[in-house]
Structure formats: structure tokens, C-alpha cells
Amino acid sequence: MKALVVGASGQLGAALLGALEHSGVSAVGTFRTHAHPGSLSLDVRDSSAVRAAFSHAAPDVVFWCVNNPGGVDWCEEHQDEAKDIHVRGAKNIFEACAKRSAKLVYFSTDYVFDGRNGPYSEDAETDPISVYARVKREAEELAVEICGKPLIIRTTAVYSWGRQSKNFAMQVWEKLSAGKTMQVPQDQMCNPTLADYLAEAAVRLVDLGIDGVVNVVGRDLVSRSDFAVSLAKTMLLDPALISPVDTSALGQSAQRPLRGGLKTDKLTKILGTEPWDMKDSLNRFRRHWRGDTHDAPAKKQVSSEAETLRRDILDKVAKYYDLVHKPKPFVPFKSRVQYSGRVFGPEEMTALADSALDFWLTMGPYAELFEGKMKKFFKSADFLAVNSGSTANLTAVMTLTSNQVEDHLKPGDEVITPAVTFPTTLTPLVHAGLVPVFVDCETGTYNINPALIAKAIGKKTRAIMVPHTLGNPCDLDVLTDLAKKKGLWLIEDNCDALGSTWRKKPTGTFGDLATLSFYPAHHITMGEGGGVIVNNPRLSRVARSVRDWGRDCWCAPGESNTCGRRFGWQLGQLPPGYDHKYVYSNLGYNFKPTDMQAAVGQAQADRIPDFVAARRQNFQTLYDGLKRYERQLILPRWDPRAEPSWFAFPITVMGGITRRELTAHLENANIETRELFGGNILKQPAFLGIKARVSGKLLETDRIMRDTFFIGVYPGLTDEMISHMLKTFDEFFARQK
């Protein structure tokens, strides 16, 4: 199904694009004055432009959510322009829908009623009392006349978090965060409706093939002033700044229906569950608000005792970092030169403390912010935060074994993988009953030998799972070409390679899925943590299900009824109406990180470019300094198509030098060394006798196991540390003469 969202730059339009994407629907948006990424510029009053937009989008369903520059009062003061947009412009869209036989979804308002006898049902008689209300009712009538059976959704008091929006919630934020009082009507009743819920319910109604008029609003009927107080408390603003008044005291241009609001009996019957209540809606709203204000806490205005105290605490945390955690001077032989370690500043510590003050112990607003930053970094279809790189690998493999994935992996299927590997790259394959097919690696790159992969593919081969060892990209031309030609799934273990590129494109974006680790040794850290990069959109919901216990429900922690029909499903052999929060469609676990971990991760994410640059610089300094010993050492090599973001500096000894004597010399100088993970993984105790196939001989794998080690290049290394490392190598080789 293809969708066209007319008015995508507004709060509802943006929410619709998100809901459609989540449902796997291809959608195109339009805007008139406020550009929206990926959307088309369109003036709905221009019939030829409308036809061109429909030709481009080829929609099966069209959502009309156009607003005007100044809301209800603007329409009263600009009656001709209001009619141009809401009637003549709407007519152009409706006629284009009819010509294509596309489903029309028209968003209307409770303002079509006079506000004397609310809340209103769908069949109540309309009686508009303002220009805005009259043009909306006229458009409703046109929609039926032209399109036959449109879906007309009436709603009210729609709100969301968005700094560019002028919706009621943002008006409360703007006034109260500046310490100003805000007069709000106490005699106007409404059903506060979160834009996210409105969008998700609308998409669900389309899926169910519903037409006619349906009220879609929040469950609670409250006064505007009470709603404003609830918003203030949610955003930690001072509710005493809300001044309840009668509508007549506001001097507004347009009349407002006072006893308004809408009934939701019809919606509840269709979806099988009641709409979101204000508590659930404000919880979701708070996640977006917290995520945005956390991203730039310094911009937030102090406006309440709680927020003042929070700022004082965070300021002291930053000072504590300066006193306790700033790097100390390096002393050769006494200071440890680690192969890797955490590199952080006051930003990570204040974010961690901020999250602790929220006491959001599960995934929450910081996790959403972190996932959003990483998704943007990779330009991926989705990004899932998990609690380790190991569970990231397990999530990726379990996703591809899910019955919800067409052509999924089954026990006995073969997966190509290198023999030099980290244990938790391999373990998920073994646990899933898949058969690893081991291929030899290359000394120097330490990656799977690309020339040997094609020979390893057999009749049962269904996937390739490869790590970019120590940040050095594998030959992704070969891997992607074979995956495409042979119809194989491709998983990139990108845990060591955040920031590496192949042909200028980030590693982790070539496979159907890719994984990351955020353990302190890796490029960025959450302490414990990891991520799954989803490049194949059809795998997104399954991957999230696997991460979240395997449940079919996609509600975030602390939320209920995101789908709008919590008790309206019938899945598996469960009785109809079984609580969707307890329906499990996949084998899964709880692999989610905490919000406090994500608070650290999102601050670290901002450092990725600097971290990558530092790793490359440190690597180059070591490489240049050790090049004189190429008769005794095999230095790392990489493909010219690749630009590695090095995890470490690998070295293979030769020419009579043993690894043990060289690493002992380095360790005696307090320089940390590590061997290359599991070496030949088949010789590890845990993997003796596993069901596997070996393609060819593993001669280079055994050599790497015997002769290879690595030292650090991480951003915490100073020039003095690297100079000490090179001098220590010089001392070792001077003794060999």
C-alpha cells in the first residue's frame, strides 16, 4: 500500500508518516510553507500541482491533515483564504482521490458542533458557529459527495511535543518556561488527543477498511485549564502560572463551542479497546519532551523549584568530574597504557545523573534519543538499543529464524563465518541449530579470506555472518555480491568497526542486519550495551519483538494500547480479545538496556567523529613508527576501498620472534596486550565437537592463533603514551641484535 499525507509538516502529518513507516507502508508527504524532510512542496489550491503530486506518489490512501497559518481565529479574520484552503483546496485533493479510486481519510473537528450538548456522537446533528467550523463541515460534505465512502475522523485538542509547532502543549511550554502566566479557558471542554495516538488509530482504521464518520480522541473529557495544568506538571513547569478564566474574557475573534468533546463508543467497538487515557498520553508526550530537552539541557528555562534543584545537582556533577575523573599525567612504566578504555566527560556524567533523577529504570526518553541518533548516523531503516554486543548478535540471528520472516533460517541451514572470531559471533548460530561453515582468514587483515567464500557455499548455505575484525572492513563487494546472487542473508558483526567505511559508506549498512557493542573497550560505551542496525525494513518489527520478550505488542515500557485495540486481537490459538501485551509471536528475551545506560550512550554518540579521528591518528603514528621492523613483524593491511576506524593495532610476529617474548616485554613496560579473541575458535573448549563444516584448511587461522596479538589505539592514548610504546618496541629489537 502507498500513502500520501497532505500536510505532512504539521504535528498530525508528521505523526502519520511515523505511524505509516512503523506499519511498513510507503508514504509520501506534502508541505506548503514549512519544508519537511523528504516531502513534496504542494499548494492544494493549484489543481495541476495536485495532479502532479498524485502522479508522483501513486497513492492507494490519502490523508488530509492540512491546517492553516493561524488556527480558528485566523479563519474568522481571513474568510476567503480559509475557504480557498479548506474547501477549494480540499476539493482538488478529493477529485484526485476519486480519479485514482484512492481511499480518502479526512480529519475534521468537534468544532462542527455548537458546543451546547457535548460530548457528541458521530450521528449528532452538526451546527457550526465559526468560519473554521463551517469550512470543515463543508469539506466533510464534499468528501462524501466526491469520494463516496471516505473515512472522516473527527478529533479535538490535538497536541504533541515539537519546537516548531504552535499546538496547545507548545503554547503552554513557551509561556510557562519563560515564567509568564497563561490565561486558559475553564469553561471549554475537550478530549485531549495525542497526535501519536490519533495517527496510529487512523492507520488502524484504514487497515480495517472502515469508512464513514469515526470520533478519534482521548478518553478523558476535561476543561482546557485542567489540561493545561496537567501539561505543566508533565513538563516540570509551575502549574500556578495557569490562570483559569471564562472564554468570554479572552476576546477571541471566533466563537468556541463550550460544552464540546466527542464520544468514543463507536471507536471502542471497532478497535476492541478504549482510547488512550490522559495518563498514557502524557507519558508518551513526556518521553518526547524529555528526549528533546535532554539533548540540550542548557537551553531549558528554570521555571520551578524542582527544575532549579535539578540544574544545581547537574552543575555539581560536572564540577565533580573535573575534580575526580579528569585524565591524570602519564608516568612511563608506572601508568598503565591500556589497549582500550572508556573516554568520557562531564556530558556523560550529567546525563547519567539526570536520568537517575527521573528514576526511569527501564528504557525511556534517553533510549529513544540514543536510538534516534544512531539511526541518523547510519541512515538505517531502524536502530535497536540492546544490553550488549552479544545480545545484539543473538537478536540478529533470532530475527532471521523467526516464523514471521519469509524464507527464514531453519535448524540445519548453513551459515558462512570466519574461523578467527569472537565467541558470541558464533554462539547464536550454534544455539539456533544452524551449522557454521568455517572459512580461513588472512594474516594482515585478520578477516575472512574473500577468495575462499564462494567455494564454501553449498546447497544448504542460507546466510553469511562476518565480523569486521578490529575495525578493518571485510571485502563487502564480494560479500554483498554473493549474498545477492545466491539469495543469502547477510549479517555484519560491526562491533569493532563503528565509523569504518567501505567505498565511503559506513560498515554496518551493507547487511540485512548489523550489530554493535558498547562495552567500555569499544568505540563508544554505555558500560554494558549494544545495538542492532536494521537495514532491511521488513525485519524491524520482528527484531524489536525478539528484543522485547518476543511479544507481539509494540508498546514502550509504561505504555498500554499503542495499537488502539489492546483487547481486539485474535492471534495464534488464543481466545479473541486476549490482552495484546501478553501475546507472544516470536521466541525472545528481554535484551533492553536501561535508560541510564542510554543516557551515557547518547552523549557518547555525539563524540563518534572525534573518536574515529583519534583512533585513525593513533593507528597511523604506531604504523609509521613500527614500519622499520617489517622483517620481524607483519603490520596490519587494509583494502584501499576501505577506511578503517581501528579498534586496535594487530601485529603478527615472524623471523624468529615469538609472541610470548614480545608481549612479555611490553607488559613489563606496563603496556597492555591482547591476543586476537578466540584464535581458531574450533580449538576453544566450548566449541569442541559442535556441529559444523570446515571449508578447506585453516592454516592462516592457526598462524593467527599462534603468532598474533594487538595493542591499543583508543582515544584515551596520549602522545606520551604512544611514544612510550614505540620506545619499548625499539628497546626490544635493540636487544635482538
Report residue 442: phi and psi, to 5°.
-105, 130
d(CA 9, CA 29): 8
Q: Per CATH, which fold does 2-295 belong to? A: Rossmann fold (3.40.50)
Predicted pLDDT of residue 297: 39
Relative to beta strand 489-493, strand 212-215 is unpaired
Q: Which amino acid is at 137?
A: R
| Residues 171 and 183 sit within 8 Å (Cβ to Cβ) | no
Report residue 516: phi and psi, to 5°.
-140, 150
Nearest 10 degrees: Cα torsion 575, 579, 580, 583? -60
Query: What is the distance of C-alpha 579 from the center of its chain?
Result: 26
Task: Of 208, 120, 117, 210, give the one whose Cα is nearest residue 156.
Answer: 120
Which of the following is catalytic: 36, 288, 468, 522?
522
Alpha-helical runs (H) found in 566-697: 595-605, 608-626, 659-668
Which residue is it, cell 480479545?
A: 577
d(CA 578, CA 721): 61
Where is 31: in which H helix or E strand? strand 26-31
522 belongs to the catalytic site: yes
- Summarised one tens digit per residue, pLDDT across range 46-69 is 999 999 999 999 999 999 998 877
Alpha-helical runs (H) found in 493-589: 540-547
Q: What does the domain layout of the chain look like in residue ranges?
A: 2-295, 304-550+585-737
Relative to beta strand 489-493, strand 461-467 is parallel
Predicted pLDDT of residue 301: 41
Predicted pLDDT of residue 292: 67
Task: Of 497, 436, 481, 431, give the one whose Cα is nearest residue 462.
Answer: 436
All three cell numbers of 63, joined, read 490523508
CATH number 3.40.50.300 is the correct assignment for the domain at 304-550+585-737: no
Surface-to-core class of residue 331, CB atoms within 10 Å of its CB (0-12 exposed, 13-18 middle, 19+ buried): exposed
d(CA 133, CA 394): 54
All three cell numbers of 25, joined, read 507502508
Report residue 71: phi and psi, to 5°.
75, -150
Q: Which residues of the chain have pLDDT under 50?
A: 295-303
End-to-end C-alpha distance for the chain, whole angstroms: 73
The predicted model scores a pTM of 0.73
Predicted pLDDT of residue 364: 85
| Residues 471 and 647 sit within 8 Å (Cβ to Cβ) | yes
- Summarised one tens digit per residue, pLDDT across range 322-348 is 999 988 899 999 999 999 999 999 999
Which residues fall within 8 angstroms of residue 619, CB to CB, at 6 or more apart?
A: 644, 646, 649, 713
| Residues 255 and 130 sit within 8 Å (Cβ to Cβ) | yes
Strands (E), 483-561: 489-493, 501-502, 505-506, 513-517, 530-534
Relative to beta strand 151-155, strand 189-190 is unpaired
All three cell numbers of 537, joined, read 525494513
Predicted pLDDT of residue 309: 85
d(CA 377, CA 380): 8
Break the chain down into helix, strand, coil percent, rounded to 5: 45, 15, 40
Give, in order, the Cα–Cα distances in Å from 321 to each of 296, 349, 358: 19, 7, 21
| Residues 611 and 524 sit within 8 Å (Cβ to Cβ) | yes
